[in-house]
Structures are given as C-alpha cells and as structure tokens.
A = this chain, B = another copy of it.
Amino acid sequence: MDLISIIIVISGIIALLFAGYLILKIRKESPGSEKMQEISKAIHEGATAFLYSENKILVIFVSAVTIILLAVSFIPNSNMHWGTALAFIIGAILSILSGNIGMRIATLSNARTAEGAKTSINKGLSVAFSSGAVMGICVVGLGVLGVFGMFLFFSEILHYAVNVTTNILFGFGFGASSVALFARVGGGIYTKSADVGADLVGKVEENIPEDDPRNPAVIADLVGDNVGDVAGMGADLYESYVESIIAPMALAAIAGGIALQTYGSNAIILPLTIAAIGIFSSIIGTFFVRTGKKSNVYSAMRNGLFASTILVGIFAGVATWYLLDGNMGPYFAILAGLIAGIVIGLNTEYFASEKQKPVKAIAEAAKTGPATVIIQGLVSGMMSTLIPVLSVVVAMIISYYFAEFYGVAIAAVGMLSVLGISLATDCYGPVADNAAGIAEMSGMGHEVRERAEALDAVGNTTAAMGKGFAIGSAAITALALISSFIVSLTIHYTPEQILDFLSLGSSTSPYLVAGIFIGAMLPFIFIALTMGAVGRAAFSMVEEVRYQFKELKLLTDPDAKPDYKRCVSISTKRALREMIVPGLLAVLSPVIVGVVFGFLGPKGSGIAALGGLLIGSIATGFLLAIFLANAGGAWDNAKKYIEAGNLGGKGSPAHKATVIGDTVGDPCKDTSGPSLNILIKLMSVVTLVFLPIFVMFG
C-alpha cells in the first residue's frame, strides 16, 4: 500500500478507536439513581425494539433488491456487475450499523447527562457532546473504511479496472441510501406521532407538564428522539458522506473522461484523502469544544467546528497539491463546498434563533392569534431559502469553473469533510432532550431540570444548524451524483448524443421538461405522504393516551401506572407501516420514469426524462427541505421565546398560539423536511445504479 492508502486506512481506524475511547469515558460516568436507570432502560428497550422491527423489514427489502440486482447483472449486455449487489448489501449493513451505534450510545448517555447536570451544566454538556461525537466520528470512520474497503477489494484483490470498481461503488451508496430512507421516514414518523400524541392529550387537554411520568406516551416520545433524531440523522448523513466520496471517484475513473486526462489517476483517490483529513480535523476539533467555559457552551461548539473547517481548508490544499502535481483547480472547488456548508448552517441558525428578527416576528404575530403565527412562519420559512440557494449556485459555478463536473462532485466532499464534528454538535441535542425528560420523570428537582433544559436549548440551536448542514450537503451531494450521471452517459453514448438528449432545444425537450415537472412534484407528494402518516399515527396515539387516562385513572388514582409499552408499540407499528409507501415511491419513481419515457419517446427520451427528474427533484426538494426545517425551527423557538417570559410568558394567549405553531412545525422539521434529503439523493443513486437498464430502453 502506498502512503496515501495507509493514511486513509489509519484515519478510519483512529476514528473507531477514538469513538471507543469516548464510549469508555461515558461508561465511567455515574448512570444516576435507580429510577433514572429504569427510565433510561425503558427508553433503550423501546428504541432497540423499534430498530429491531425496522431491521426485519429492511432485511426483506435488501434481499429483494439484491436479488433484482443480481438478476439484472446476469442479463447479457446489461452492463451491471454482480459486485453492485455485494456493495449494496455492505452499504446497507454499514448504514444500519451507523444508526444503531448512535442510538445505543445516545441511550447510554441520556441518564448520565442528567446525572452530570446535577454537578454542573458543563459536566452535563461534556457527556452529551461526547455521545454526539461518538456518533459523528463513527459515521465518518465507517464511511471511509467502507468505501475504501470496497474499492480495495474489487481493484486490488479481484483486479477489476478502476472505472468498473467505482461504478460498483454506487451499489454501496444505494444500499446506504435505501436504509437511510426507511430510517429517516420511519424514525421521523415515530418521533412525531409520539410527540404530538403526548402533547395534544397531556399538555393541551389535561394540562400536565411536558415529560410528566403519568403520561403514557412519554417513554415513546423519548424513544422517538433516539430513533428519529439520532438513528435517522446518522443514517442520512452516512449516506450523504459516502455518496459524496463515491461520486467524484467514479467521475474521475471514467476512461476518456476529462478529470482523468487532466488530473491523472490520483484524482480517484483525492476524495478519500480529503475525507481522511476531515476525520483528523474533526477529532482535533472536538478538543476545542472541551475547553469551552460554562458561560459559552454554544460558542465552544462553534469554535470546534470552525477549527476543523480551517484545518481541512489548509490540509486539503496540501493533499491536492501533492496528489494532483500542483494542479489546484479541485482545491478551490473543495473550498467552495466547505464555505457554502458553513454559510447554509449560519443562515439556518439565523432563521431559527430567538435573538433574531424572524423568530421575534413570529412571536409578535402571536398577539393576533395562531393564524398569524402560521402565516408568519410560512413567510420566514420561504424567505430563508434565498441564501442557501445562492450559496449552492455560487459553489457550483465556482467548482465547475475550476474543475468542471469533477469540481462539482468534489465540492460535496469539501462540504461533508467536517461531518465528524458537525454531526457531533447535532446529535448532542437529542441526548440533552432525553436528559431533560429523565430529570423531570425521576423527580430530580427544579435545578437539575432547569440545567438540563438549558442544555436542551443549546441543542435546539445546534440542531437547527445541523439540519441546515444536512440539507445543504444533501443538495450538493445530489448535484455530485447528477454530475456523475451526466459523465457516466459517455460510456453509452457519443458526446453529441448526450448533448442532444439533455437539451431543452432538441426533440427530447418535452421529455426533459416532463422530467423536471414530475421531479419537482415528487417532494410535494412525499411531504403529503409523510406528513399525513404522522397525522394518522398521532391520531392512534391520541386515542390510546386518552383511553389510558380514562380507564386507568392515571390522573386521579396515585397508585395507577401508565402502560408505556402499549404506546411504544403503537408508534412502532404505525411508523413501520407508514414508511413503506414513501420508501417505494422514492425507489420506484426513477425506474418508472426512466423506463416508461424511454419506451414512449424517441431515442434518448428516457435519459432526458431522468435528467429532468433528478434536477427537478433536487431543486424543489432542496427548497422545501429548507422551508420546512426553518419554518419548523422558527415556530419551535418562537414558543420558547415566549416561554422565556416575553409577550406574556407561559400560559398567555400568545403562548397558546405559538404552541399551535410548534405542533404544526413538528412534522415539518422532524419528519417531512429531513426525509427530502434522502429522497433527492436516493433517486439520483438509483438512476446511476440502473443506468445500464435505462440505456437498454432508449
């Protein structure tokens, strides 16, 4: 192995070792009183049970797709390799693993964070952040090792040509992607049906506080934080991460491609090298967070992120210079991606921050009731799309200017290189949220509860930034995959044909436009399906909670015990049932569009429709994801702003109006919005994997 390969492997191993070290450190912390351990155990069991049931469904799905992939690979001239099926399975397994590790460590840390908060806010922060860091570092470690492992296996052991190998890697991305979709959608439906169900009956109808142990849905709600915000987010970003690495690799490996001619074969290994640099930088960045003083825990986290960003900015330059013989074009693309990621994150933070105008405007609107709260939230959510879109557009144009399609693809690597630490700050949130719940349920007293809530509040801001980052990276990863799609066409068609198929000015133009229209529509349908699913699942939960309150006399009989497990089981069953249709929609849409339009129109119509489908879905998927995340975050924080004592404080009519806004925002920001990230990437990678089939249909 050469030096670079060794560095890449070491980065992955160090990531896993560092995560192991953090786990040991967390384990050493006191898990708190017996009561706390009991609650934590119930959460852990609920989460594990959900993931177990989910995985059973995933096994069926993964097996079915594997059989299809293998079957296709045996069709003569299908151009699909059996390795794609193998890579698909590995990708799916590693994605499941990422989500599971994150969930396990989060349920390990929640009670310990609450117990830590007994000592000081900073102690609680340290435990919660370590838990997030395990997740972040594991995801990047497994990402680099997974992609590089598959690459070595096919190219070094089986001696396949690099372009065949990198093409097989899309199977890996497909595996990661499809698992991520189910994890995101299922987890998102789970968490919000439990949350809405618990709140509507407990807080609104019965007037008992959040996380009150008498509420039978409270454990399901806490489980939801783990399966949705942790496991779902982990799988989502694992997918973005590996696909952003695979796309430029595949692009660079295409024989006769411009990237290979300009930069040489090292361009294939550059993305993994940048990822390795990102891992080291992220680990170093976590130490910056540790030095944070009590007074500014949040800016400590931000410092950690900025430190990592600067380190990547420097060493990515060195690596590019070394690997590409001083040809620095792709480096500028990496920088563009890196900066765009930060800008999108800051934009999200601005729109979700209680200190800024948008959230305050929503709180002000609460004076005239819930309707104006909703309208104002829609307004600021829509307005918040401006900066992210311009950032992505500028990053894309700069990247293309410096390194054509390879530049666009590697810009995504730049953006995602700091994932290790940005995911850490993001996954910190649900752990703090759980800790606050455990503090309330186990009766740890006012002070601990307040500290835990302070940690949770910081978590909301970091989560907002994390969400912005997840959306931005999904969009730029999807653009990277589209770039691969366009360049991959050179394997099957002449340059003139490609130009013709994908042009608004040619005879396939109506198919391109049809693809754009259908692609632009799919995110709307996807939102309708997932949001409707939350509504239906929450309705079942409301009925169950109402029934238990009444039949078990939970609020009147002090000896009554709520049946948490029934609520957990309702969330589990409904989430799993409701995730099937949106999941299949995402996987099947490109297949149907590619085959039907290819069959209907003149030669190239299917390709045109697919190109349109992808770009249309990315455009509106990106916009709607930002809109939903920022509107949802702003509604949430407008409520918190009033709860902090402004405009009449808790219990005032203005507060009630913002509670309604928050309830509307919940499925927006935690179910439908995040699911769109996967939709746009999954459709792109499905298109890439099945491209050989689409080519056969014209």
Contacts and interface: CB of A to CB of B under 8 A. Distances in A.
A237 interface: no
Contact of A518 (B393, B401, B600, B616): B393
A407 to B, nearest CB: 9
Given A371-B660, A499-B505, A392 B486 contact: no
Contacts of A368: 200, 539, 542
Dominant SS among interface residues on chain A: helix
Interface in A493-544: 495, 498-507, 509-514, 516-518, 520-521, 524-525, 527-528, 531-532, 534-535, 538-539, 542
Contacts of A405: 509
A400 interface: yes
Interface in A637-694: 660, 663-664, 667
A281 to B, nearest CB: 28
Interface in A449-508: 479, 482, 486, 489, 495, 498-507
A575 interface: no
Interface stretch (A103-111, A171-179, A374-382): A374-382
A533 B405 CA distance: 41
A393 B517 contact: yes
A678 to B, nearest CB: 18
Interface residues of A, number: 81
A538 B389 CA distance: 30
A386 to B, nearest CB: 6
A428 interface: no
A393 B510 CA distance: 8
A518 B389 contact: yes
Contacts of A486: 504-505, 509
For the complex formed by this chain, how many copies does it contain in all? Answer: 2
Contact of A620 (B489, B506, B513, B620): B620
Nearest to A507: B404
Given A374-B374, A517-B392, A499 B503 contact: yes
B663 A382 contact: no
Given A369-B200, A504-B486, A660-B370, A396 B514 contact: yes
Interface centre among A376, A489, A501, A663 (most CB of B within 10 A): A663
B383 A525 contact: yes
B504 A502 contact: yes
A615 interface: yes
A581 interface: no
Nearest to A521: B389
A611 interface: yes
Contacts of A611: 504
Contact of A499 (B375, B500, B620): B500
B623 A383 contact: no
A513 B396 contact: yes
Contact of A664 (B375, B512, B528): B375
A580 interface: no
Given A408-B510, A502-B503, A517-B392, A376 B616 contact: no
A520 to B, nearest CB: 4
Nearest to A197: B368
Contacts of A371: 196, 200, 660, 663-664
Interface of A: 196, 200, 204, 365, 368-372, 374-376, 378-380, 382-383, 385-386, 389-390, 392-393, 396-397, 400-401, 404-405, 408, 479, 482, 486, 489, 495, 498-507, 509-514, 516-518, 520-521, 524-525, 527-528, 531-532, 534-535, 538-539, 542, 600-601, 611, 615-616, 619-620, 622-623, 627, 660, 663-664, 667
10 contacts: A375-B664, A376-B532, A382-B528, A486-B505, A499-B503, A502-B505, A504-B611, A513-B615, A516-B616, A620-B620
